[in-house]
Amino acid sequence: MAVNAVSYRIPRNDVAVPVILLGAPGAGKGTQAKRIAARYGIPQISTGDILRENIVRNTELGQKARSVMERGELVPDDLVLPMVADRLSQLDCAQGFILDGFPRTVRQAEWLDEFLRNCSLGGQTIPPVVVSINVGYNQLLQRLTGRRSCPVDQKIYNIYLQPPKSDCVCDLCGTQLVQRKDDREEVIAERLQSYQRQTLPLVEYYRRQGRLREINGELAADQVAAETFAAIQESAASAAAGGA
């Protein structure tokens, strides 16, 4: 597949680099991605969200992805890679981006490495910062089975950990909360297994490259965010200075 070139710029007083968030489903990648996006002014690119939008719009991609996603399996690369290439080539990614849910396999990571090798700053390649958010199995189960969201304003709740004020309706607009189809217990098991099998090897892949930063995702969300910002700052400073 053709790899498009994108160029990144590091603003003088801040950092802007590609950020990859790794972590099991329910680890809090989406929450942290939103905070990083707000802090650095770079877009959050969630492959799961893009796929779900395609399902809602009933596009050809959405029609092909729907049943695979409902089973909790990974959508094939021939659908996901062009979708990611297209998104990363958009102008708003020129100062960096946060990948949330991609890469999911070593093959996707190798593809991304090649894609990013073609992205340069004055001839200098900017390696992504890879942050792994680690959460134990029982905590993940509770987060996933309890997750509900408001279909109107997208606010996310957890019926065990962060329940709405009154019975399963949104605090902000009163709309009935919904559960993602793939957050049902039988699908969660498949998603967590697919993570163990296909995505966990990525941690080793990035560790070997010396790019992995690991964060305890069971800490309070503010603390996870603070540690994530510090990891990004440190890696970006080292990249700007010509390090790995």
On whether the CB atoms of residues 104 and 198 are closer than 8 A, the answer is yes
Cα 29 to Cα 25: distance, rounded to the nearest angstrom: 8
Among 8, 97, 102, 157, binds ligand AMP (CB under 6 A): 102
**Among 35, 52, 143, 147, the one annotated catalytic:** 147
- The reply to whether 35 sits near ligand AMP by the rule CB under 6 A is no
Q: Is 147 noted as a catalytic residue in this protein?
A: yes
Does 48 participate in binding ligand AMP (rule CB under 6 A)? Answer: yes
Q: Which of 104, 143, 147, 148 binds ligand AMP (CB under 6 A)?
A: 104
CB atoms within 10 A of CB 215: 24
107 is catalytic: no
Give residue 122's region: left, alpha or beta (phi > 0; psi -120 to 50). Answer: left
Q: Which residues pair with 131 in a beta bridge?
A: 21, 213
How far apart are alpha carbons 243 and 17 in whole angstroms? Answer: 14
Of the listed 52, 143, 148, 191, which one is catalytic? Answer: 191
Does 99 participate in binding ligand AMP (rule CB under 6 A)? no
Does 147 contact ligand AMP by CB under 6 A? no
Quick check: 92 and 18 in contact, CB under 8 A? no
Considering only 13-21, 70-78, 170-178, 214-222, which stretch makes contact with ligand AMP by CB under 6 A? 70-78
Tell me the site size for ligand AMP, rule CB under 6 A.
17
**Residue written as token pair 């690991």:** 214
State phi, psi for 18 to the nearest 5 degrees: -70, 135
* Stated length of the chain: 244
**Is there binding between residue 28 and ligand AMP (CB under 6 A)?**
no
Contact stretch for ligand AMP (CB under 6 A) within 45-53, 86-94, 123-131, 221-229: 45-53
Q: Which of 64, 66, 180, 181 is catalytic?
A: 180
- Torsion angle, CA of 113/117/120/124, rounded to 10 degrees? 100
User: Which residues contact ligand AMP by CB under 6 A?
Assistant: 25, 47-48, 51, 68-69, 72-75, 80, 101-102, 104, 108, 182, 191
Q: Would you name the residues annotated as active-site residues?
A: 29, 104, 147, 180, 191
